[in-house]
Amino acid sequence: MEKTISSIEKKGKSVLAKVGTWSFIFGVLIALIVGIAIGAGALEQLTDEERAGDTEGYIATILVILGVIVGLVGALGLGTIHKDEMVGFLVAAIALVAVGIGATLFDKIPLIGNFLSGITGSMLIFFAPAAVLLAIRYLWDVGRN
């Protein structure tokens, strides 16, 4: 009986790990594709309150949900981001968030500026929820020890 419970727990962890991995991959791919579409003028910036429509809102919602999944699974220690990689992920996420905040400045760069702006803005929306959840987990671990 205990063996069965243990195998069910392992399967559950394995499924969560796969969900986290696939959410990470899909989130990055969607953010890149959306960023390119923004750069090409097919979509508005996801963070542009005045011009963004329903489509951009749905895309942003999907990216946030994927980011939350990545963050939750990572905070549980089951996803692509393990405990020993958490600090590196948080530093990278801070860099992306900082660049994403200034993404509108890229618009002034000829030819590639709109693409850079779209990609960094989309990545910001995807990585911010994951970074917040992992930062909370990291601070919890530090405070507990």
72 pLDDT more than 60: yes
93 and 144 Cβ atoms separated by less than 8 Å: no
Written as six digits, the tokens of 106 are 């890229």
d(CA 93, CA 81): 12
> 16-31, pLDDT tens digit by residue?
888 988 999 999 999 9
Distances, alpha carbon 33 to alpha carbons 75, 121, 136, in Å: 27, 12, 29
Written as six digits, the tokens of 138 are 């990291």
> 89-103, pLDDT tens digit by residue?
889 888 887 887 777
d(CA 122, CA 57): 12
> 100-131, pLDDT tens digit by residue?
777 777 778 888 888 988 898 899 899 999 99
Residue count of the chain: 145
